Amino acid sequence: MIETREGGCHCGRVRFRVRVDLAEVLECNCSICTKKGILHLIVPPDQFELLRGRDALTTYQFNTNTAKHTFCGHCGMHPFYVPRSHPDHVDVNARCLDGIDMTALRPRMVDGRDWEATWGAPRCGDELREQMLVGGMRRFVDDRNL
Amino acid sequence: MIETYEGGCHCGRVRFRIRADLSRLSECNCSICTKKGILHLPVLPKDFELLAGKDELTTYQFNTNIARHTFCRHCGIHSFYVPRSDPDKISVNARCLDAVNAATLQPSRHFNGRNWEEAYAARREAEGA
């Protein structure tokens, strides 16, 4: 069920509003997601509004430099970022939604350690890429009987 | 069982070595632990060695200003901090241990940090303090 939620970092400098379906939450085991502990809610940009804090954000990049790992430079929270798998989307950290009940979330696991197998081929046309991403995810789910 | 582990932030600037017991892992539901997603591994200062990155850390404080929430200013990863509940210890984020598989980390203790004073009093009582 898609709902409107607000959220942000801890110190309050970064705030956002998002239209999101909490049933779509993902957890990834890649190197940075493990350390961030992030729970992913990937939304198109028209469902995300940054209410404040653009200037408070620091961006960290590595490897392919596709993802933009944004965090609040004051409190260090990672409320959202631009993911490598969907660089035209925004990936909101469910942990940073106001009043979130962590015990109610049922994240689906994504094998980010084997990134290519999970997310499909390198970047190409958007439509084809979306199909490949969906295919990659389906293969991942089928392979593991999830 | 106490073992020696190394770990750090993501960009590699902050590195530490600890002696810790993974069976003492705990999780907290307070406002900042929820956002950080931290899995707490408390260690004594003598069991913690900062190998690199002292000057790369930013410290965030709020409320009582007892806890010192340190994170790498380059990659934003919170690999350890000084907790409010045990300001004489260091709480290492088990997510930041080298080659750790988070799926295998099972917290044995849950701290109800949303009601911090009550949870702290209950823990002290259980410890016979």
Q: Could you tell me if A84 and A128 lie in one domain? A: no
Whether B36 shows a pLDDT value over 70: the answer reads: yes
Q: How many domains does chain A have?
A: 2
Q: Distance from CA of residue A53 to its chain's centroid?
A: 18
pLDDT tens digit string along A95-119?
A: 999 999 999 999 998 888 887 778 7
d(CA B126, CA A94): 33
Exposed, middle or buried by CB within 10 Å (0-12, 13-18, 19+), for B8?
buried
Q: How far is CA B48 from CA A62, B1, B69, in A?
A: 28, 16, 16
Closest CA to A37 of B59, B94, B85, B41: B94
* Residue numbers in B near A79 (CB within 8 A): 35
Q: Could you tell me if A102 and A137 lie in one domain? A: no
CATH number at residue A35: 2.170.150.70
Q: Could you tell me if A100 and A141 lie in one domain? A: no
Write the single-letter amino acid at B70.
T
Q: Which fold has domain B2-98+106-126?
A: 2.170.150
Six token digits for residue A109:
């696991």
Q: Which domain holds residue A120?
A: 113-146
The rounded mean pLDDT for chain B is: 95
Q: Could you tell me if A66 and A12 lie in one domain? A: yes
Establish if B35 touches chain A: CB-CB under 8 angstroms: yes
Establish if B66 touches chain A: CB-CB under 8 angstroms: no
pLDDT tens digit string along A69-85?
A: 999 999 999 999 999 98
Asked whether the whole model's pTM tops 0.90, one would answer no
Exposed, middle or buried by CB within 10 Å (0-12, 13-18, 19+), for B70?
buried
* A129 backbone dihedrals φ, ψ, rounded to 5°: -60, -40
Of B31, B38, B77, Cβ closest to residue A10 = B31
Q: Could you tell me if A55 and A122 lie in one domain? A: no
Q: Could you tell me if A76 and A142 lie in one domain? A: no
Q: Which residue has the higher pLDDT, B8 or A120?
A: B8
- Matching residue, tokens 């690999």: B79
Name which of A114-118, A124-128, B71-75 the model is least confident about. Answer: A124-128
- Matching residue, tokens 């990155």: B53
Spell out the domain ranges in chain B. 2-98+106-126
Write the single-letter amino acid at B107.
P
Q: Which residue has the higher pLDDT, B129 or B75?
A: B75
Q: Test A10 with B100 for CB contact under 8 angstroms.
A: no
**DSSP 3-state of B97:** strand
- Matching residue, tokens 């210890």: B89
Instruction: Find the residue in B nearest to A31 (Cα).
Output: B10
d(CA A10, CA A73): 11
Exposed, middle or buried by CB within 10 Å (0-12, 13-18, 19+), for B43?
buried
Q: Per-residue confidence at A146, pLDDT binned at 50, 70, 90?
A: very low
d(CA A33, CA B95): 9
Q: Could you tell me if A99 and A143 lie in one domain? A: no
Whether A136 shows a pLDDT value over 90: the answer reads: no
**How many inter-chain contacts (A to B, CB under 8 Å) are there?**
81
pLDDT tens digit string along B89-122?
A: 999 999 999 989 888 899 998 999 999 899 999 8
d(CA A110, CA A69): 18
- Matching residue, tokens 């960290």: A60
Residues of chain A in Cβ contact (below 8 Å) with chain B: 9-11, 29, 31-32, 34-39, 58, 60, 62, 69, 71, 73-79, 93, 95-96, 100, 102, 109
Q: Could you tell me if A105 and A117 lie in one domain? A: no
Q: What average pLDDT does the segment B121-129 reach?
A: 85
